[in-house]
Amino acid sequence: MTRTPYHNREVSVTKIFTFDSAHRLDDYVGKCANLHGHTYKLEVTIKGRTDLRGIVVDFGDIKQIVNEQIISKYDHRFLNDLMDFHTTAENMVFHFFQLIDTYLGQIADSSPCRLMRVRLWETPTCYAELTREDYDAAE
């Protein structure tokens, strides 16, 4: 295999997903206390050093993790029935970060990489974000 001139360089990669779910916010006064739905957009950013081919992590591996751990469980579902916490974007982004972080560490063929950021868009103008730094500080 020919080594790329960009071998062993620190690079961040991001993959974006969408899914549709319904929820309501309990213990909340306002419109969101009523049943409603969102088309969520989930951005997953991973950082690491490029391997001999110039790859940090295979986008297919990211897709597999997110599809198995998030999309297949929460797409077209009522989130309040599935989550044992208030279904705010802030709580959900923390939960999704934990899931992705756990399963990213189990990818056998990937070079060492770390989940750096998860951003969950609830609407086209509103999102919650959790970074590695904030996640690690919360532990």
If we measure between CA atoms, which residue out of 81, 52, 54, 82 comes closest to residue 70? 82
Instruction: Give the number of domains in the chain.
Output: 1
Q: Provide the annotated active-site residues.
A: 32, 76, 122
Q: Is residue 72 part of a domain?
A: yes
Query: pLDDT, tens digit, for every residue of 92-126?
Result: 999 999 999 999 988 755 568 999 999 999 999 99
Q: Is residue 4 part of a domain?
A: no
Q: Is residue 1 part of a domain?
A: no
Q: Please, which residues have CB within 8 angstroms of residue 6's CB and are 6 or more apart in sequence?
A: 50, 54
pLDDT at 3 over 80: no
Q: Are 75 and 18 in contact (CB under 8 A)?
A: no
Q: Is residue 62 part of a domain?
A: yes
Query: pLDDT, tens digit, for every residue of 35-49?
Result: 999 999 999 999 999
Question: Could you tell me the CATH number of the domain that includes residue 37?
Answer: 3.30.479.10
Q: Is residue 5 part of a domain?
A: no
Q: Is residue 117 part of a domain?
A: yes
Q: Is residue 63 part of a domain?
A: yes
Q: Domain range holding 87?
A: 10-138
Q: In this structure, how many other beta carbons lie within 10 angstroms of the beta carbon of residue 5?
A: 7
If we measure between CA atoms, which residue out of 70, 72, 92 comes closest to residue 80? 92
Q: Is residue 123 part of a domain?
A: yes
* Mean pLDDT of the 58-65 span: 95
